[in-house]
Chains A and B, each alone.
Chain A
Amino acid sequence: MPLGSSSPVRPAAEAGRADGATTGQPVGEPSSATSSRRARDGRRAERLAPYVLVAPAVLIIVVLRLWPLVVGVNFSFTGDGERNGTTVGLDNYADLFDDPLFRTALRNVGLLVLLLPIAVAIPGLIATFIYLRVPGHRVFRSVYFFPAVLSPVIVGAIFNLLLAYDGPLNTVLGGAGLGPVDWLGDPDVAIFAVVGVHIWATFGMALVVFLAGFATLDSALLDAARVDGASLPQTLWHVIIPGLSRTIQFVFVTTMIGMLTSMFGLLYIMTSGGPEGSTYLPEYYIWFQQGQMNRPALASAASTALFLIMLVVGLLQISVLRRAGRES
Chain B
Amino acid sequence: MSRLRLSRWFVAVPMAVLALATIYPLLFTANVAMKTRREYILDRFSLTSTLHWENLSTAWNSVGMARYFLNSVIVVTCAVALLLLIGSMAGFALSQLRFRGSSALFLVCLAALFIPFQVIMVPLARIMADTGLIDTYPGLILAYVAQFLPFTVFLMTSYYRAVPAEIIDAARIDGNTVYGVYRRIMLPIGTPALLSVGILNALFCWNDVLISLLMMPSADHRTLMVGVTSLRGQYSDDIPTFAAGVLIAAVPVLVTYLFLQRQIADGVTAGATKG
Name A's B-contacting residues (CB within 8 A).
1-6, 8, 10, 12-13, 16-17, 19, 21-23, 42, 45-46, 49-51, 53-54, 56-58, 60-69, 71-73, 75-76, 126, 129, 131-136, 139-151, 153-155, 157-158, 161, 168, 200, 204-205, 208-209, 211-220, 222-223, 225-226, 230, 232, 235, 246-247, 249-250, 253-254, 257, 260-261, 282-283, 286-287, 290, 296, 299-300, 303-304, 306-307, 310-311, 314-315, 318
Known: A50-B102, A148-B203. A57 touches B86 (CB 8 A): yes
Contacts of A60 in B (CB 8 A): 86, 142, 145-146, 149
Q: Are A51 and B99 in contact (CB under 8 A)?
A: yes
- 7 smallest A-B Cβ distances: which pairs? A16-B175, A215-B271, A303-B119, A68-B120, A64-B146, A49-B178, A68-B123
Contacts of A51 in B (CB 8 A): 93, 99
A161 CB contact (under 8 Å) in B45, B109, B195? B45
B90 CB contact (under 8 Å) in A53, A154, A306? A53
A296 to B108, CA, bound (A): 27
A204 to B25, CA, bound (A): 14
Chain B interface main SS type: helix
B8 CB contact (under 8 Å) in A6, A64, A134, A217? A134
Contacts of B112 in A (CB 8 A): 61, 65-66
Known: A16-B175, A141-B261, A314-B113. A1 touches B120 (CB 8 A): no
Q: Tell me how many residue pairs across A and B have CB atoms closer than 8 Å.
A: 336
Q: Are A3 and B169 in contact (CB under 8 A)?
A: yes
Most chain B CB neighbours (cut-off 10 Å) among A8, A50, A286: A50
Chain A interface main SS type: helix
Q: Are B116 and A261 in contact (CB under 8 A)?
A: yes
Contacts of A254 in B (CB 8 A): 113, 151, 154
B179-238 contacts to A (CB < 8 Å): 179-180, 182, 192-193, 195-197, 199-200, 203, 207, 225, 228-229, 232
* Selected interface stretch from B48-56, B63-71, B252-260: B252-260
Distance of B264 from chain A, by nearest CB (Å): 6
